[in-house]
């Protein structure tokens, strides 16, 4: 059986690697912050990226940002001995970093899929993520089984690394916009004496319904728990990457500009908090 590597066992990587181990795949894992305490049962804990690369043909990454992915990509490309010939990056890193990562891997003769995910920590634990992969179709077919262990909806969105990032960033821009706009709308409704539960009940069977009203507000804000598992900082990172990408493409940013300003401001004030806290930041009273 082919050995699969996994580097980055954080909020997303730990449950995703857990799904691979549960599926009975032969797994070797590593995390810089400490592997033993994060490794799923049945996986081999490696002391370094090099140790993973020496053993795993296919290697998954789930790392914080483009800088880290580029550094790890360079370490993979330089590692000797090396069995790894395909790297699947599940991180959100933006178009520019995906381009640089593609160059590092192609220079070393390693195939690369740019394959960010959506669905959050809950989706990673349940194996219900969406994967939006870009790269060769043959490489995508090769990792279909492990991807299916982690995700319910697999998409091959294009042949060029960076296209997966474009898909992920435009998705997260919409999610960030829904979260910020719904917060403002709900706060306005509350100022008029409307109850949050009532507002959500009406919205969710009306035309204003969106991912914030149907999921984040009902399950994380109405409950006062603010625990979507995605930090303000990560959302601000994604919206910032989206803004840079839109600037590069020269497409409209009339909505994108003010939305990214909201998340930048929030990141400065409370980057480590859950992203549902945008409601509190904009003046919401529940959980304040
Ligand atoms: P995280 O910070 O919880 O996890 C990242 C992990 O990578 C950490 O455990 C860290 O120790 C490890 N790491 C950092 N540098 C390393 C290195 N050089 N070598 C080995 N390990 C290293 O982040 P996360 O929330 O799990 O997100 C991971 C990626 O997935 C990010 O790109 C994020 O944008 C994306 N993402 C997150 C969510 C979410 O809901 N959290 C959803 C979709 C996509």
Of 12, 45, 92, 114, best ligand 1 pocket probe by most atoms within 8 Å of the beta carbon: 12
Say if residue 225 is in the same domain as residue 82.
no
Say if residue 153 is in the same domain as residue 33.
yes
CA distances from 146 to 6, 80, 85, 227 (A): 11, 25, 16, 28
Say if residue 103 is in the same domain as residue 224.
no
Domain hosting residue 174, numbered range = 166-281
pLDDT reported for residue 288? 77
- Residue 286 belongs to a domain: no
pLDDT reported for residue 218? 98
Say if residue 254 is in the same domain as residue 131.
no
What is the crossing angle of helices 95-107 and 66-78, to 10°?
0
Say if residue 170 is in the same domain as residue 155.
no
pLDDT reported for residue 148? 98
Answer whether 64 contacts ligand 1 (Cβ < 6 A): yes
Q: Residue 168 catalytic?
A: yes
Ligand 1 centre distance from Cα of residue 176 (Å): 19
- Residue 271 belongs to a domain: yes
SS (H, E, C) the chain: CCEEEEECCCCCHHHHHHHHHHCCCEEEEECCCCCCCCCCCCCEECCCHHHHHCCCCEEEECCCCHHHHHHHHHHHHHCCCCCCCEEEECCCCCHHHHHHHHHHHHHCCCEEEECCEECHHHHHHHCCEEEEEECCHHHHHHCHHHHHHHEEEEEEEECCCCHHHHHHHHHHHHHHHHHHHHHHHHHHHHHCCCCHHHHHHHHCCCCCCCHHHHHHHHHHHCCCCCCCCCEHHHHHHHHHHHHHHHHHHCCCCCCHHHHHHHHHHHHHHHCCCEHHHHHHHCCCCCCC
Say if residue 93 is in the same domain as residue 144.
yes
Q: Count the Cβ atoms, other than its own, within 10 Å of residue 257.
A: 12
CB 85 within 8 A of CB 5: no
Say if residue 152 is in the same domain as residue 210.
no
Say if residue 16 is in the same domain as residue 155.
yes
Say if residue 29 is in the same domain as residue 141.
yes
pLDDT reported for residue 1? 84
Q: Examine the fold and report which residue of 159, 188, 217 is the final residue of a domain before the chain moves on.
A: 159
- Residue 26 belongs to a domain: yes
- Residue 204 belongs to a domain: yes
Query: Hey, what are 187's tokens?
Result: 């706060």
CATH number at residue 62: 3.40.50.720
Answer whether 98 contacts ligand 1 (Cβ < 6 A): no
pLDDT reported for residue 80? 96
* pTM for the structure as a whole: 0.95
Say if residue 134 is in the same domain as residue 182.
no
For tokens 């795993």, name the residue.
Answer: 56
Say if residue 121 is in the same domain as residue 90.
yes
Q: Count the Cβ atoms, other than its own, within 10 Å of residue 254.
A: 6
Ligand 1 centre distance from Cα of residue 158 (Å): 24
The residues, any chain, with a CB within 8 Å of residue 150's CB and separated by 6 or more, are 16, 19, 20, 117, 124, 127, 129, 131
Say if residue 107 is in the same domain as residue 12.
yes
Of 28, 64, 114, 170, best ligand 1 pocket probe by most atoms within 8 Å of the beta carbon: 64
Ligand 1 centre distance from Cα of residue 192 (Å): 41
- Residue 124 belongs to a domain: yes
CATH number at residue 170: 1.10.1040.10
Answer whether 183 contacts ligand 1 (Cβ < 6 A): no
Q: Which of 142, 85, 84, 91 is nearest to 115 (CA)?
A: 91
Q: Examine the fold and report which residue of 159, 189, 219 is the final residue of a domain before the chain moves on.
A: 159
Which residue among the candidates 32, 83, 100, 168 is catalytic per the annotation?
168
- Residue 64 belongs to a domain: yes
The residues, any chain, with a CB within 8 Å of residue 62's CB and separated by 6 or more, are 6, 7, 8, 9, 10, 12, 13, 16, 90, 91
Structural domains of the chain, count: 2
Q: Count the Cβ atoms, other than its own, within 10 Å of residue 237.
A: 21
What string of pLDDT tens digits covers the 288 residues of the chain? 899 999 999 999 999 999 999 999 999 999 999 999 999 999 999 999 999 999 999 999 999 999 999 999 999 999 999 999 999 999 999 999 999 999 999 999 999 999 999 999 999 999 999 999 999 999 999 999 999 999 999 999 999 999 999 999 999 999 999 999 999 999 999 999 999 999 999 999 999 999 999 999 999 999 999 999 899 999 999 999 999 999 999 999 999 999 999 999 999 999 999 999 999 999 999 887
- Residue 65 belongs to a domain: yes
Q: Examine the fold and report which residue of 119, 143, 159 is the final residue of a domain before the chain moves on.
A: 159
- Residue 287 belongs to a domain: no
Answer whether 276 contacts ligand 1 (Cβ < 6 A): no
pLDDT reported for residue 219? 96
Answer whether 92 contacts ligand 1 (Cβ < 6 A): yes
pLDDT reported for residue 287? 81
């Amino acid at each position: 059986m082919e050995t699969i590597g996994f580097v980055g066992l954080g909020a997303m990587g730990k449950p995703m690697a857990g799904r691979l181990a549960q599926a009975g795949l032969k797994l070797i894992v590593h995390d810089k912050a400490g592997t033993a305490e994060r490794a799923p049962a049945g996986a081999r804990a490696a002391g370094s990226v090099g140790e993973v690369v020496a053993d795993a043909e296919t290697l998954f990454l789930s790392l914080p940002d483009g800088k880290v992915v580029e550094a790890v990509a360079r370490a993979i490309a330089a590692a000797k001995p090396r069995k790894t010939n395909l790297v699947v990056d599940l991180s959100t890193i933006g178009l520019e970093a995906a381009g640089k990562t593609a160059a590092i891997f192609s220079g070393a003769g390693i195939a690369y899929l740019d394959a960010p995910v959506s669905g959050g920590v809950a989706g990673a634990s349940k194996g219900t993520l969406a994967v939006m992969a870009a790269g060769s179709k043959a490489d995508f077919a090769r990792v279909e089984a492990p991807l299916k262990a982690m995700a319910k909806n697999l998409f091959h969105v294009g042949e060029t690394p960076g296209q997966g990032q474009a898909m992920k960033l435009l998705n997260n821009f919409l999610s960030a916009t829904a979260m910020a706009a719904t917060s403002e709308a709900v706060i306005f409704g509350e100022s008029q004496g409307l109850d949050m539960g009532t507002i959500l009940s009406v919205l969710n069977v009306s035309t204003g319904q969106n991912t914030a009203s149907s999921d984040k507000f009902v399950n994380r804000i109405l409950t006062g728990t603010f625990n979507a598992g995605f930090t303000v900082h990560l959302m601000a990172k994604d919206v910032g990457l989206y803004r840079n990408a839109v600037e590069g493409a020269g497409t409209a940013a009339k909505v994108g500009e003010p939305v990214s300003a909201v998340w930048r401001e929030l990141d400065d004030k409370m980057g480590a908090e859950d992203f549902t806290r945008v409601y509190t930041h904009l003046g919401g009273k529940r959980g304040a």
